[in-house]
A and B are shown apart, each in its own frame.
Chain A
């Protein structure tokens, strides 16, 4: 176990370095640099301004030098400064991380629990009308573009019914604090979380259903049935436990993609998360900010994968950690 953990630490470092290198080269391969973006966004510019910007961003140095400088920062965990946002990257990340985590955990919890339950029901009723309806509804939610669902939900629940706010994370005009602020954020969270959740829900429904059906087809279930075990007990104690493996894997994958998966929802609902920030960083060729976000993301992914691997051993004792 200790060796496994030590190796995992090693692997985290490898991943982070790999990401750093990919990030650097991707952003430098992309046409246009940060100075051009800022000059463009300024509406007008002078050659001196652009030269000053390039000097400030270190873009006037040869590529090799820039790379070494950048790697040195990464290795010392110096996240640097985001010129486009005018703030240190670390501060920006801390500011947006809670919003992202809130949105994603709410959405995925909603999706996993509701989706898993629906998938369980569909598998139990496989071939019958309930199964068809559940599968069709899940499919509908998956196949419809996220921004379409978001906008429609917004129009129905926010504009027409006036039950929920349109966008943003909180109502600044009201100036709530404490518990009232929490309630305000919760109200703002409903539409974006549901929009995002509906998308993931379909995945969990289908996966749970397919996985359970797969297990149902196996010998030991036939044995249990022959032994006279009640169907409900079979479903919960034997099938479910074994069907959970792919679910856990998918959960791992989704938790890992926490930071990027919500770009569209965050854009439609003006939710101040890291997904949208990463998108803006890409468009602004903001190397430091994008690196910071990817760093966050990589740590989350590696940690989650570790937990998933450990969960495997719990769920299926035959699997050893190599």
Chain B
């Protein structure tokens, strides 16, 4: 009978799934259809395709398909086997051992081995990768007793390492192609060779990146899609049109303006997905230049915090695709988040009182003082947030002059010359605040003029100590306690004002399956994805 044989098929396939690695995301009940070309939005165009020194979004989106990592992160942000089948962390945190999967090959046919991991650690993660450098600082030696085992020995524990081990977090490059070359300028960076489910085919600048199915992929049977085309479409309206027409079937990271998102979500042929970003946990914040004349006083900064209605901001400017934030660690990072931090509720009266106390009374024309706001030049959402800020502060007597500029001028102004009052930016918090959050507050960055670090100019010995302590503690509970204290302090001092936890969305064709299942899906490969009708097979 039909139903019996179907149940048979179900049982068989689930048995197969159990036989394979544990913890893999289970697919739809029917066997996935093979074939097809998947067109993806790539916005903006990346500078390079190798995440060795580049942690920007478009690079990661493409690289996640070409490079495998030691692990991937599931929806609960727990590491799951990828190139590493299993791993052990010593109790004192001073050694980590990875047992690698056998039989994996690079796209050029050479075998993948522990030597590649060792080389990548020593020449990429510890040196040129800005995210990994501080995390792998304490690794004193890497041992490879055999081709499938890698053991890291650390002078002091570095637990955050376990949160950055995926393909883009700790990219493993082929030693045999990179050894002896200048890694940053190796032409292979734009024609990458990895072990992942898709092989690089072509990059036509200004137009597209073409990847093709890896026939020798270690995860047998995958990927299901034959070709991946990443298309560069600079205009948001054109992107919306392309998605609506079906010319694009997968578009992560808010490809279209919010209003269009609502409209596209209502179409039967499209779906909007908000899962897959859990690994990132992006947070949007304002940097106050604590050396600027008016913002020196913490009461002024707290007054500004009270003057902004975050709920209205999330609703009006971000169309509900954001949640008011109260701490630099977003609420989605549940392990470390401290909900008891000092909260600055929307209270115009309180704001005015604080400003009066700080000595800035209203003048004859109603204004107390004037500041400038340099908003992040990465899109209209940030500009509109700036306009919202201008209106909010006007109400309490602070005149805000908005300054528009391109990103080169913005970086020079905010991080180079520090010629600003209030700036805006966003960053990813990751599952461990050591990876991204602390960059905003650690005083060691001051004077280096490095973009996206400590924009406010904050200097607190106590906070520095908390950060440095947490970096090397072997005991996670103690680290959590450190970070809870960290949040209390920085939210009291308020050099930076966390505004919103951003909720990114992906728009995709309704017949595209296999998209949810990983916490780092947007930066991972599309190997589990398939079209569940035959129409798309090329």
A positions within 8 Å CB-CB of B: 30-34, 36-50, 52, 56, 84-87, 92, 95-96, 147, 151, 154-155, 158-159, 162, 165-169, 172-173, 267-270, 272, 276-277, 282-285
Binds A, one of B26-34, B200-208, B487-495, B511-519: B200-208
In the complex, the answer to whether A172 meets B208 with C-beta atoms within 8 Å is yes
Residues of chain A within 8 A (CB-CB) of B439 are: 44
Could you tell me which residues of chain B, from 448 to 482, have a CB within 8 Å of some CB in chain A? 448-453
Could you tell me which residues of chain B, from 218 to 259, have a CB within 8 Å of some CB in chain A? 227, 229, 231-235, 237-238, 241-242, 244-245, 247
Indicate the member of A34, A154, A162 with the most B CB atoms within 10 Å: A154
Residues of chain A within 8 A (CB-CB) of B245 are: 158-159, 162, 166
Assembled-state Cα–Cα distance A232/B159 (Å)? 89
In the complex, the answer to whether B538 meets A173 with C-beta atoms within 8 Å is yes
Assembled-state Cα–Cα distance A38/B229 (Å)? 25
Residues of chain A within 8 A (CB-CB) of B244 are: 159
In the complex, the answer to whether A267 meets B53 with C-beta atoms within 8 Å is no
- A169-B207 contact in complex given A31-B408, A37-B408, A49-B53, C-beta closer than 8 Å: yes
Asked if B93 lies at the interface with its beta carbon under 8 angstroms from chain A, I say no
In the complex, the answer to whether B56 meets A43 with C-beta atoms within 8 Å is yes
Interface string of B246-274 (1 = CB under 8 A from A): 01000000000000000000000000000
Assembled-state Cα–Cα distance A30/B413 (Å)? 12
In the complex, the answer to whether B416 meets A36 with C-beta atoms within 8 Å is yes
In the complex, the answer to whether B448 meets A47 with C-beta atoms within 8 Å is yes
Residues of chain A within 8 A (CB-CB) of B47 are: 38, 41-42, 84, 86
Could you tell me which residues of chain B, from 40 to 90, have a CB within 8 Å of some CB in chain A? 47-48, 53-57
Closest to B187 in A: A86
In the complex, the answer to whether B56 meets A31 with C-beta atoms within 8 Å is no
Assembled-state Cα–Cα distance A143/B128 (Å)? 51
B: number of interface residues (CB 8 Å): 57
- A42-B405 contact in complex given A86-B47, A168-B231, A173-B229, C-beta closer than 8 Å: no
Residues of chain A within 8 A (CB-CB) of B409 are: 30-32
Assembled-state Cα–Cα distance A46/B53 (Å)? 9
Assembled-state Cα–Cα distance A37/B406 (Å)? 10
In the complex, the answer to whether A272 meets B130 with C-beta atoms within 8 Å is no
In the complex, the answer to whether A268 meets B408 with C-beta atoms within 8 Å is no
Residues of chain A within 8 A (CB-CB) of B161 are: none
In the assembled complex, how far is the CB of residue A175 from the closest CB belonging to chain B, in whole angstroms?
Answer: 9
In the complex, the answer to whether B241 meets A49 with C-beta atoms within 8 Å is no
Residues of chain B within 8 A (CB-CB) of A269 are: 235, 238
In the complex, the answer to whether A270 meets B207 with C-beta atoms within 8 Å is yes
In the assembled complex, how far is the CB of residue A144 from the closest CB belonging to chain B, in whole angstroms?
Answer: 15
In the complex, the answer to whether B407 meets A40 with C-beta atoms within 8 Å is yes
Assembled-state Cα–Cα distance A39/B448 (Å)? 13
In the complex, the answer to whether B411 meets A32 with C-beta atoms within 8 Å is yes
Assembled-state Cα–Cα distance A169/B207 (Å)? 8
In the assembled complex, how far is the CB of residue B404 from the closest CB belonging to chain A, in whole angstroms?
Answer: 13
Assembled-state Cα–Cα distance A284/B205 (Å)? 15
User: A52 is contacted by which of B39, B184, B207, B410 (Cβ under 8 Å)?
Assistant: B184
- A154-B452 contact in complex given A37-B407, A277-B206, A284-B408, C-beta closer than 8 Å: no
In the complex, the answer to whether B408 meets A30 with C-beta atoms within 8 Å is yes
Residues of chain A within 8 A (CB-CB) of B411 are: 32, 36-37, 39-40
Asked if B113 lies at the interface with its beta carbon under 8 angstroms from chain A, I say no
Closest to A96 in B: B206
Residues of chain A within 8 A (CB-CB) of B415 are: 36
Asked if B5 lies at the interface with its beta carbon under 8 angstroms from chain A, I say no
In the complex, the answer to whether A42 meets B237 with C-beta atoms within 8 Å is no
In the complex, the answer to whether B37 meets A151 with C-beta atoms within 8 Å is no
Closest to A159 in B: B241
Assembled-state Cα–Cα distance A56/B184 (Å)? 10
